Amino acid sequence: MKKFVNAQELMEYFNISRETLRALEKNGLLVVSKGNYELEQVVNFFNNIEEKINLNFKIGKFYTN
């Protein structure tokens, strides 16, 4: 059974601000319906971000924007 959470629950669960949540949405976080998210999809989204960071950044290298 899928678990759905609203924006407030999501912000509290992941300890993120509304601005961060909006930025995540702009970068691909799926909104199931206005202000509602499927928790498993959100967890997968964060795992994908972590995986990309681990693949692209190496300890000891210097990075700039």
pLDDT tens digit at each of 65 positions of the chain: 889 999 999 999 899 999 999 999 999 999 998 889 999 999 999 999 888 887 788 788 887 87
Residue 39: both structure tokens together: 């928790």
Q: Are 30 and 64 in contact (CB under 8 A)?
A: no
Record the pTM: 0.73
Q: Are 2 and 32 in contact (CB under 8 A)?
A: no
